[in-house]
Amino acid sequence: MKVLQLSLLSLLVAFTNILAAQGTPVPATDDTETVETTDMTISDLTDDAMDKDMMTSDKTGSMLEFGIRPSYMWVGGDVSSTSDFGIGAHFRKSLDHLFSLRLDGLYGGSSGLDERNGPNSRQFESTWISGTGYAVVSLNNFKYTGDTRKMNLYAMVGAGANFFDVEYQEPGQVWDDNGTRNPTIDRKFATHAAGGAGILFRVSPKFNIGLDYQALIPFGRRADLLDGYDERTDPSLGGNFRDVQSAASLSINFNLGSSAKKNEPLYWKNPFSGVRDEINRIGGKVDDATKDSDGDGVVDAIDQEANTPAGVPVDTKGRVLDSDKDGVPDYKDLEPFFPPRAGESVDGNGVVINRNDKPITEDRVQEMIDASIAQLKAGQQAGTTTVRTERGEVYLPMIYFPLNQSTVKYSDYGTLSGVARVLQGNPGMRIVVRGYTDRVGSAANNQVLSYRRAKAVIDHLVNQHGINRSNLILQYRGEENALVPLDKSFVNRRVEFLTDEGGGEDPAPAGASGRGGY
């Protein structure tokens, strides 16, 4: 018993220290508050300083609850109990949003009368004094919605110490209302387990009221003597469990501490408020960052013209298009693609009002034609070669081949048909058909492959279009004269048509009858 008593006293001392520690102010952090502006940019979404601002507070810790409880007390035991009154008080400190600790004191009396046995009636009057430490859990603080709870529903378990005395009636004796002849059970230190539940209603940040119930179950030899009778020594009582001291209370509670410096006890606060507010804040900033007020397809964060009229074309920065750069936007410009020349000006509709037109002479027309021809010759069409005919120069397309192949593709049949028409229209013309390869493979193999490609084109012109073989001069250069400096370039695997400059036909290379090359 002494060991149990010492353990209980240690528990109460530790509980008192916890309450004292919870009331110690925590040094305030030196976080810098970030001021939000309406100049939204996408980078604001990852602003760590702003995130930090949302989590800071000037308040440290939470207030301590003190409660007074007028109580209705009774004993659940071997004798029918009538009620009596008592008083209780407690301190409650929140550890987090779900759990809290409560140090409880209770004083009161109980009485009971059992007249079933006639002259052997049993009755008692008792006085109870106890102190209990409770671990309390809030049962309704798991909801996501709301910020401050209007109600706190809780359950609690704990242990404590008690003193009680009992005045009772001996069987066969008459109850003495003055209590001078009634036997008594004197006060002694004992321990008990306790459990309870309650409901509180928040009236203001500093005050709440509710209902509370406690059941205190004694331990030890006196555990069945709260009503003065022990069923272990008197089986006629019919009891099968130790007595239980019960108390139902009206709980009137006050939160101690400055509301300017401390938060309400956390069991009144939604544990998800910070997370929910942060999600809503980020969601709002995403909405702001992707907002397009004028509906032009460019978000406000990068829109340089935030009030573009509906349906007006804009560039990637939300600016109204002005294609001819005349100062009149395209949607108002009657001539959106005619920029004014030097010295010209436009009206509000984008139309030139002082045209600076010059007449074009025949010499100027010829000059423009000659310039176009010269430019065409200088640039030359991509993928063609120039061949001289009796009627002038013409451009003949190149024929391209897949890697390591010398067969004319079906897609080139139309191209070679055009080459054949040029030759048929100029029966006296001789052209060079010259084959090439890319730079993959050995030089010897590429010589053979370029020969085969030129021969395949000549055979097609002769066999499919009836071109005289003597008008076609076969030459091959292997991997020489690459058009692009890439080993596997498609444009290097080609056959070109060139003007005959008097060179003869190249003899077939060694191995031309076999396969190889690229």
Q: Do the Cβ atoms of 498 and 481 come closer than 8 Å?
A: no
Q: Which of 455, 417, 440 has the alpha carbon at shortest distance from 493? A: 440
Q: Minimum mean pLDDT among 126-130, 154-158, 293-297, 461-465: which range?
A: 293-297
Give the whole-angstrom CA distance, residue 290 versus residue 27. 40
Asked if residue 47 has pLDDT above 60, the reply is no
pLDDT of residue 116: 60
Domain boundaries, the chain: 2-23+36-276, 381-499
Burial (CB < 10 A; 0-12, 13-18, 19+), residue 219, is: middle
pLDDT of residue 431: 92
pLDDT of residue 46: 42
Distance of alpha carbon 61 from its chain centroid, rounded? 30
Which distant-in-sequence residues (6+ apart) come within 8 Å of 176 by Cβ? 182
Confidence of residue 313 (pLDDT cuts 50, 70, 90): confident
Give the whole-angstrom CA distance, residue 93 versus residue 495. 93
Q: What is the mean pLDDT of the chain?
A: 79
Give the whole-angstrom CA distance, residue 335 versus residue 349. 8
pLDDT of residue 17: 45
Confidence of residue 43 (pLDDT cuts 50, 70, 90): very low
Average pLDDT over residues 430-452: 93
Burial (CB < 10 A; 0-12, 13-18, 19+), residue 326, is: buried
3-state secondary structure at position 435: strand
Give the whole-angstrom CA distance, residue 236 versus residue 466. 134
Who wins on pLDDT, 376 or 310?
310
Tokens of 458: 């000549």
Tokens of 57: 């507070």
Give the whole-angstrom CA distance, residue 231 versus residue 441. 110
pLDDT of residue 15: 42
Who wins on pLDDT, 184 or 422?
422
Q: Minimum mean pLDDT among 38-52, 63-77, 167-181, 194-208: which range?
A: 38-52
Give the pLDDT confidence of 322-370 residue by residue, as tens digits. Answer: 888 888 888 888 877 778 877 788 888 888 888 776 666 666 566 666 6
Q: Do the Cβ atoms of 165 and 138 come closer than 8 Å?
A: no
Give the pLDDT confidence of 213-260 residue by residue, as tens digits. Answer: 999 999 988 888 887 777 666 655 555 568 899 999 999 999 999 988
**Residue 14: its H or E element:** helix 2-22
Tokens of 139: 């049962």
Start-to-end CA distance of the chain, whole Å, equals: 102
CATH superfamily of 381-499: OmpA-like domain (3.30.1330.60)
Give the chain's count of helices (H) and strands (E).
6, 16
Give the pLDDT confidence of 458-510 residue by residue, as tens digits. Answer: 999 999 999 999 999 999 999 998 888 777 777 889 999 998 887 789 999 98
Average pLDDT over residues 119-139: 88
Q: Do the Cβ atoms of 100 and 269 come closer than 8 Å?
A: no
Give the whole-angstrom CA distance, residue 137 versus residue 376. 90
Q: Minimum mean pLDDT among 156-160, 276-280, 456-460: which range?
A: 276-280
Give the whole-angstrom CA distance, residue 296 versus residue 306. 9
Asked if residue 457 has pLDDT above 70, the reply is yes
Who wins on pLDDT, 236 or 188?
188
Residues above pLDDT 70, as percent of the chain:
76
Give the whole-angstrom CA distance, residue 442 versus residue 435. 16
CA torsion sign for 493, 497, 501, 507 is positive
Q: Minimum mean pLDDT among 127-136, 227-236, 293-302: which range?
A: 227-236
Q: Do the Cβ atoms of 251 and 69 come closer than 8 Å?
A: yes
**What's the Cα-to-Cα distance from 486 to each of 13, 482, 494, rounded to whole Å?**
87, 8, 14
pLDDT of residue 31: 43
Give the pLDDT confidence of 400-428 residue by residue, as tens digits. Answer: 999 999 999 998 999 899 899 989 988 88
Give the pLDDT confidence of 365-407 residue by residue, as tens digits. Answer: 666 666 665 555 554 445 667 787 777 778 888 999 999 999 9
Tokens of 90: 């407690």
Average pLDDT over residues 66-71: 97
Beta bridge partners of 89: 68, 105
Q: Tell me the backbone φ, ψ of residue 297, rounded to 5 degrees.
A: 90, 0
pLDDT of residue 102: 98
Q: Which of 229, 20, 236 has the alpha carbon at shortest distance from 122? A: 229
Q: Tell me the backbone φ, ψ of residue 286, rounded to 5 degrees.
A: -65, -40
CATH number of 2-23+36-276: 2.40.160.20
Average pLDDT over residues 167-182: 67
Give the whole-angstrom CA distance, residue 456 versus residue 416. 12
Q: Do the Cβ atoms of 222 and 184 come closer than 8 Å?
A: no
How big is the chain by its Cα radius of gyration, in Å? 52
Q: Do the Cβ atoms of 406 and 453 come closer than 8 Å?
A: yes
Who wins on pLDDT, 103 or 373?
103
Q: Minimum mean pLDDT among 31-45, 77-91, 136-150, 480-494: which range?
A: 31-45
Beta bridge partners of 128: 108, 164
pLDDT of residue 485: 79
Q: Which of 135, 53, 122 has the alpha carbon at shortest distance from 92? A: 135
Q: Which amino acid is at 156?
A: M
- Select, from the ranges 110-124, 128-142, 493-507, the one with the highest average predicted confidence (pLDDT): 128-142
Who wins on pLDDT, 126 or 31?
126
Burial (CB < 10 A; 0-12, 13-18, 19+), residue 511, is: middle
Beta strands in 141-206 (DSSP E): 151-168, 184-185, 190-204
Distance of alpha carbon 509 from its chain centroid, rounded? 69
